[in-house]
Structure 1
């Protein structure tokens, strides 16, 4: 048993719905890139401890992280999840319903930037935001998230270590360069109090001042 398996066995056990999502993604030819259980549990705890009532998720895929986050909501809480592809959103809806959180989750399909513009125009705000979409637009998603965040809100982002590649300056692939810049910008942003957690593939956690 390795370290990740040890943590999952004790602290991040999956129920039947969560366990089934990876196989469902494979059956549908969708990328199997959901957050690992330990990241899901960390997101759940952060949302729960922050008392989140309105959550925004940028990137749903099969709804794995959606379920962890929705389970942290109070009964009158809500989660809006943005997803580019209708087939991904449909599978995520199915899984959210199976997990018993479907009534609290709204999936919106389309380009994230356009959907975020619409949310700003609606005048809505959130107290917890999770970014897990195309890495090259993370910096833009962060800026938009700050505009949609209430004071004291928590903003999180996945894959910020890129398997350790962010530490290798010779890695100039666009996604790694984008995440490296995102991390550097996050560390300097005076509007935020931030930290990177070595959970899963790296989880950025920031509090809006």
Structure 2
């Protein structure tokens, strides 16, 4: 990749798009030296798509497939083709609720990031903030990590700690974790870019 060209991000999301909005704001304010080439979702009604269209960023809606928690191989292959069509260098999962299997990981090895709402390796899987509350721990947080075949198990790139307060509910704790996510995710992406800890796709 030429030194002059910015790193091109492809964002995958299934929901409200708050981390996408945080990344977009970091780009707009000069804290993140990247561009967003495309936003993809497995849900045609996801708010992240509305946010992307408002920002004049191309969007792609993936076929639904037969399963709720993962994408069939041919859909992942279609996803990889879409990312390549838009020249994506780095894939960023932002609330993407499908587990990725072989085809996309093979197409973008070592180039897919995720953010998880716990201090991994603690509390993997769904609703990690609820798991933390139920466990009675003093703190939790969020983790940015590389995506690998095993869920929530790739190498950790950055973490932010969030204390659990007396009287916290799942909703109040989750809201504070998301605030931490919005700070951490752009910071980690920028550090990766500055340190060139990823490779151009050929």
- Shorter-chain TM-score tier: 0.3 to 0.5
* Bigger RCO (CA 8 Å, 6+ sep): 2
Higher helix share: 1
